[in-house]
Amino acid sequence: MLAAPAHPSDRLVASRSSGAASGPQGVAAGGSAAGASKPDDGAPKSAPTAHPLRGQIVITEIMYNPASDESRGEPEWVEIANLGTTTVELSGWRLDDEDTLPMEQWGPFSCVLGPGEVAVLVHRNVEEEEFRAAWDDPESPVSYQVIRVKWGGLANTPSETNEILRLRDGAGEIVCEVNFRNGDGWPKLTALGGPSIYLVDLDATDLSSGAHWRASKAGEHGAIERKPTRVFGGKDIGSPGRLPPRHGQLTASGAGASDATEGATTTGERVE
């Protein structure tokens, strides 16, 4: 959930747009088919025209340093959500970062996300049943998609130049970007890891600002300590599929039901 680039200026800021380019039957255009060439991130370039889906399809939670054994990256995951008002078809989309080696490349995925719907991208070696056994909360069930992809891997000690986690559409264009770090204005995780980081302010305009992110804590905004399985054996804490409240309202089906009524501020944070 995420080698340094030659040009830090290539970093882009994810901005929120109220609308999206619409395709047939009211489904927003999500980019061209998979397999389109990826832009050369090694060369400096001016900021492109804002993507029509920027601010609508957003990275909302990143499990980059789980306490579970991550020798092959299997316990890592990334949550994305449709925070807009239009259904979007994601065809041939992929995660991406600043790594360039073929073995570090992320595989494409396709799905459809309606307004408020959530998908969790997981390592392709992890079966959906095992992920849900570890992370679903029977007391607060929510509906979300689990999508298995070829995993590129996330740094355990992210910095300004590593990680720069991006979500690209089928044409290779950047839809969302999070340049996250460990500390330096971001949630500080210990070397043992465990908690994910999640977007607590769903209306944030700069997703690369650590002020809008928080380390998961069991009992807050739907976060739980995972149940032990073959892959998830450490003390990992997160809330996959469960978004924090947005202006005191639910942003995903059933998400954060215990948090979304009283004590929510306009930034989605709960007043204790």
Q: What is the pLDDT of residues 151-207, one digit of tens each?
A: 999 999 998 888 899 999 999 999 999 999 999 999 999 999 999 999 999 999 899
Phi-psi region of 241 (alpha: psi -120 to 50; beta: other; left: phi over 0): left
Please report where in the chains the tokens 């073959």 appear, as a residue.
230
If you compute the radius of gyration of the chain from its CA atoms, what whole number of angstroms results?
17
Question: What CA–CA distance (Å, rounded) separates 270 from 21?
Answer: 34
Question: What CA–CA distance (Å, rounded) separates 110 from 90?
Answer: 5
Which pLDDT score is estimated for 30? 57
Cβ–Cβ under 8 Å, residues 63 and 76: yes
Q: Which DSSP state fits 160?
A: T
Question: What CA–CA distance (Å, rounded) separates 166 from 227?
Answer: 29
Cβ–Cβ under 8 Å, residues 206 and 44: no
Identity at 20, one-letter amino acid code? A
Within the chain, which residues score under 70 in pLDDT?
1-49, 247-272
> Residues, the chain, total?
272
Strand partners, 22: 28
Please report where in the chains the tokens 């309606």 appear, as a residue.
114
Which pLDDT score is estimated for 102? 74
Which pLDDT score is estimated for 28? 59
Which pLDDT score is estimated for 5? 37
Please report where in the chains the tokens 């239009």 appear, as a residue.
86
At 3-21, the pLDDT tens digits run 333 333 332 333 333 334 4
Cβ–Cβ under 8 Å, residues 51 and 12: no
Identity at 229, one-letter amino acid code? T
Half-sphere exposure of 108 (CA within 13 A, CB side): 18
Cβ–Cβ under 8 Å, residues 160 and 184: yes
Question: What CA–CA distance (Å, rounded) separates 119 from 78?
Answer: 9
Question: What CA–CA distance (Å, rounded) separates 249 from 116?
Answer: 11
Question: What CA–CA distance (Å, rounded) separates 13 from 233?
Answer: 35
User: What is the value of pTM for the model shown?
Assistant: 0.76
Identity at 66, one-letter amino acid code? P
- What is the end-to-end Cα distance of the chain in Å, rounded? 27
Which pLDDT score is estimated for 49? 61
